[in-house]
């Protein structure tokens, strides 16, 4: 047996053992990586230097996508297949694969991102915290999570990230899975409530992503796995 990180590109292997705790095994299992599964290692490449949400232009409209969502989108640029996060400012690419369930594809489609469509990478979003006022309560949250909250102001619907400071708006939709929606509701953010953007607090800077990631194919699904997780997967 060998570690997944030791496998040569374009090699088909079978997962024999997944080491680590239950949380790590669950995370890998969500990607389809478990004992007995056959996969093809496509590449092992340096991780993109940035983390955090990104800004894209899709069909002439600027949108924000959280890192977790962007990690599930693969695009083709100049004949190369790569994760969306590998693009740089000004790059244009065609979405080739959205590697997640139907619900996720529905949420991301609401942003205008669909397989076969073109996206333009604008920039990485600054490390900042949005400060909202809900009734008499203040809520602080990062731009990635906030990007899943849609509001209406003066007849215009937008991601809450684009709300002007001091403006009041009504939440029209919270996208994402059950856990995310529950977290938002516990914070007081749900459909129908009024919110005001009080301001934005600058962060201390996001850490750089280090090491390599593994690009693999499980069945018809492409996945990326950080080097640390890939080193817990034994194959032959």
Structure tokens at 127: 């490390």
Q: How far apart are CA 133 and CA 188, in angstroms?
A: 10
Question: Same domain for 96 and 114?
Answer: yes
What pLDDT score was predicted for residue 236? Answer: 93
Residue 104 and residue 38 in one domain? no
pTM: 0.67
59 and 79 both lie in a single domain: yes
CA 15, distance to chain mean position in Å, is 26
- Apex CA 197: angle with CA 196 and CA 201, to 5°? 150
Q: Looking at the structure, do residues 137 and 98 belong to the same domain, yes or no?
A: no
pLDDT in tens for each of the 236 residues of the chain? 999 988 888 899 999 999 988 877 887 887 789 999 999 988 776 555 556 889 999 999 999 998 888 878 888 888 877 788 888 889 999 998 887 667 788 888 988 999 999 999 999 888 789 999 998 899 999 898 899 999 999 999 999 999 999 999 999 999 887 888 888 999 999 999 999 999 999 876 555 544 567 778 888 777 777 777 888 999 99
- Is the same domain home to 133 and 115? no
What is the layout of strands, in order, in the sheet containing 92-98? 61-65, 54-58, 118-124, 92-98, 73-77, 80-83
Residues 190 and 215 in one domain: no
Residues 186, 216 share a domain:
no
Q: Are 69 and 52 within 8 A, CB to CB? A: no
Residues 155 and 185 in one domain: yes
What is the rounded distance in angstroms from the CA atom of residue 153 to the CA atom of residue 106? 24
Nearest-angstrom CA–CA distance, 58 and 49: 23
Q: Residue 156: what pLDDT?
A: 93
Considering the domain architecture, whether residues 132 and 194 belong to the same structural domain is answered as yes
Query: Of 102, 124, 146, which residue sits at a domain end?
Result: 124
Check whether residue 198 and residue 136 sit in a common domain: yes
Number of domains in the chain: 3
26 to 34, 88, 227: CA distances (angstroms): 9, 31, 17
Q: Residue 20: which domain range?
A: 2-47+210-235
């Amino acid at each position: 047996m060998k570690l997944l990180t030791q496998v040569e590109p374009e090699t088909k292997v079978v997962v024999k053992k997944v080491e680590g705790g239950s949380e790590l095994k669950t995370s890998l299992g969500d990607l389809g990586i478990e004992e007995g599964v056959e996969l093809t290692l496509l590449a092992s490449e340096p991780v993109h230097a940035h983390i955090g949400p990104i800004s894209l232009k899709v069909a002439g409209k600027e949108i924000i996508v959280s890192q977790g969502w962007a990690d599930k989108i693969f695009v083709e640029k100049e004949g190369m297949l790569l994760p969306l996060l590998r693009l740089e400012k000004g790059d244009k690419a065609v979405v080739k694969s959205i590697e997640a369930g139907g619900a996720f594809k529905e949420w991301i489609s609401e942003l205008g991102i669909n397989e076969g469509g073109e996206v333009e990478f604008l920039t990485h979003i600054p490390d900042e915290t949005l400060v909202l006022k809900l009734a008499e309560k203040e809520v602080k949250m990062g731009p990635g999570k906030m990007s899943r909250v849609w509001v209406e102001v003066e007849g215009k619907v937008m991601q809450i990230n684009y709300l002007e400071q001091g403006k009041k708006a009504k939440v029209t939709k919270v996208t994402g899975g059950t856990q995310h929606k529950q977290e938002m509701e516990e914070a007081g953010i749900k459909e129908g409530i009024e919110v005001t953007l009080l301001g934005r607090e600058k962060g201390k800077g996001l850490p750089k992503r280090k090491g390599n990631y593994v690009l693999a194919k499980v069945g018809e699904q492409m996945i990326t796995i950080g080097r640390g997780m890939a080193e817990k997967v034994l194959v032959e």
